[in-house]
Amino acid sequence: MADVDYQTQHKKRLSWMPWLYFSLKSKHLSWAKPWQEDIQQQLKLLETIHIGEHCFIAPQAQLFAEPGRDIIIGNHCMISAEVFLHGPITLGNEVAINHGCSLDGGRKGITIGDQTRIANNVTIYAFNHGMSPNTPIYQQAATSKGIVIGNDVWIGAQAGIVDGVTIGNHAVIGMGSIVTKNVADYAIVAGNPARVIGDRRDK
């Protein structure tokens, strides 16, 4: 197989499993690092995005950040293929967002702490629509309270987090959960709506 074919397939693999980027050998980093630098430089030229050191952003990810709705990405973060991000969003260091996730910061923003991991197809929306019966939904003003997610949080696949929620440090959100209320530090929650089913300190 020609080198160019191998690299194309390897880029695709990294885009869907970006943690592999951080263990690449020097011979692979020789092409992967310039590839990432080009992707990230283009994003910074086109959008109001600030990217830390040694990050990975899949070319299939869609990041949008207007002035005042910045996206700030810390060091050693990874953003997988088919992720949608619309600022304002702030990521700490070593944050991972896996494929197919959708995050919109509304007006008040989404803040995610260091070392938090977000599995595939998670939705996090920091806004909501009015629901008055006298006006069509699409004509009603949106509200935004913001969402805060702490450090070292694990959010399972296909979970949803609604506007106004704060998730404490070291919490675990079970697969498919819908989080509608604040989650305490170390709490393990699951279900729809999510409820506490355990404490991480007991594991």
Is 99 an annotated catalytic residue? no
Residue among 50, 86, 129, 170 flagged as catalytic: 129
- Pairing of β 195-199 and β 187-190: antiparallel
Q: CA-CA distance, 123 to 160, in Å (whole number)?
A: 5
CA 151-155-158 angle, 5° bins? 155
Q: Which residue carries 């990874």 as its tokens?
A: 78
201 burial level (CB within 10 Å; 0-12, 13-18, 19+): exposed
Distance of CA 127 to the CA centre of its chain: 16
Give the SS3 label for residue 119: coil
Q: Which residues are catalytic?
A: 129
